[in-house]
Amino acid sequence: MFDDKRSKRVILVAHCLLNQNAKLDRCAHYPGVILEAAGEIVKSGAGILQMPCPELLCLGLDRETDKKAKSSIAAEDTRIAARMEEPRNRATCRRLVADLVYQVLEYQKSGFGVLGVVGINGSPTCAVERTWAEDGERDGPGVFIGILNRELGKESIFLPMRGIRPAEPKKAVAAVRELLRR
């Protein structure tokens, strides 16, 4: 089955890796795509499964920011982190994750290699190693990646996950290359 030119290799990536336009105001490091990281994936021939942006889907593009307030990025990240912990927003994350888990299972059932997950460290939702909560960065995954990891585990799927930072392109490329070697 699938006897054609496809690579049969897929990698999951945070939405904003391919679309910086979805980022919180003042947080985009690129006009569109995080070029270095995305370029490595494209060159490898792996397919890209762009995960949804839970913050955009739960809070909107403006993240329900008070436009009259001149909040710092840290204050906004703290507010967003707290909002994403709300039961309604966690439920949305669980629904989004259910769709991703289904797709991963479908790829694996058809013999495709699912190489891993690239998240965005520092994000309240899509961080892998370092997230944002309670006025600062802390160790651990963001809300969305934490739910994704748990739900994949329920299906006995253990994908390697790496977090990147757009402001650190050399480290981002190294993290992506590590996943692509699988």
What residues does each domain of the chain span?
A: 9-180
Mean pLDDT across the chain:
96
Residue scoring higher pLDDT (24 or 119):
119
Average pLDDT over residues 156-167: 97
Q: What six digits make up the tokens of 82? A: 């707290």
The span from the CA of 182 to the CA of 180, in Å, is 5
pLDDT at site 110: 96
Does residue 170 have a pLDDT over 90?
yes
- pLDDT, greater one: 26 or 116: 116
The reported pLDDT for the residue numbered 65 is 85
Phi, psi for residue 172 in degrees, rounded to 5:
-65, -45
Q: Is the pLDDT of residue 66 over 90?
A: no
In the numeric block, the tokens 């990698």 are attached to 11
Entry pTM: 0.95
What is the phi/psi pair of residue 21, to 5°? -65, -15
pLDDT at 78: 93
| For residues 85-93, average pLDDT | 98
- 71 pLDDT higher than 90: no
pLDDT at 82 over 80: yes
pLDDT band per the 50, 70, 90 thresholds, residue 144:
very high
Q: Is there a contact between 75 and 66 (Cβ–Cβ < 8 Å)?
A: no
Coil, helix or strand at residue 157: coil
Distance CA 148, CA 39 (A): 25
> What pLDDT score does 64 carry?
87
* Token pair belonging to 74: 């840290």
Largest CA distance in the chain: 57
pLDDT greater than 90 at residue 182:
no
Q: What is the mean pLDDT of residues 104-125?
A: 97
pLDDT value of residue 128: 98
Q: What is residue 18's predicted lDDT score, i.e. its pLDDT? A: 98
